[in-house]
Amino acid sequence: MSNLNSSFLKEMGITEWTSREGSPQGLEVTKEAATTHAPAQDHHEAIQAEPRAYWWFFGSKPQGDAQTLFQNVIRVLGLASNEWSWKGPSDSLSEIHLPDNGMPVVAFAFGGPAAQKITGERDPLPQLRETILALNTGSDEEIPVIASFDLAQVAAQPKDKALLWQDLLLAKSVLQNI
């Protein structure tokens, strides 16, 4: 994992595990090589590239610490500004349109109410988490939805950051298999 991603995970309070046996042969990076590779260049190149997939984030607009946490989530996922959008609770699902280019989409709901609204489910958040749900748009196209904690709750209870990370990894896995 890159130093940039490691620092974001650390900032989110997530412990990065390393093998006790040391790094496998051929994967060791010298300090010299690590400093010559500029993460800013990678970020700039990612913005210039065509989006690989699209993320729709649903929930109440984060503020304060929750906004900082969301920005870190975007950075850790490596998303450029053209690869995600925020959908508020008042946004109508009928106005949401899939990208014209057939790009895969995953929806990520922050909080139980957001997940219930976009999926039509009535179960509480603990039963909705760790499950691949479907966006209730009324069209034939199924968009996978992953439900997780509200960002304000995660910011207030840092122990939930690891569970948020698990949900993000599930969403990333779903996207890779579309």
Q: Which two tokens stand for residue 59?
A: 């929930």
Q: What class, spelled out in words, does domain 3-15+26-176 have in CATH? A: alpha beta
Beta carbons of 58 and 108 less than 8 angstroms apart:
yes
* pTM of the predicted structure, to 2 decimals: 0.72
pLDDT of residue 100 exceeding 90: no
Count CB-CB contacts under 10 A for residue 133: 22
Question: What are the residue boundaries of the structural domains of the chain, listed by start?
Answer: 3-15+26-176
Q: Which two tokens stand for residue 164?
A: 């948020």
CA atoms lying within 13 Å on the CB side of residue 11: 15
Distance CA(114)–CA(120), nearest Å, equals 10
Q: What is the pLDDT of residues 106-148, one digit of tens each?
A: 999 999 999 999 999 999 999 999 999 999 766 677 899 999 9
With bands split at pLDDT 50, 70 and 90, how would you rate the model's confidence at 7?
confident
With bands split at pLDDT 50, 70 and 90, how would you rate the model's confidence at 35?
very low
Provide the strand spans (E) within the chain.
54-58, 84-87, 105-110, 132-134, 144-148
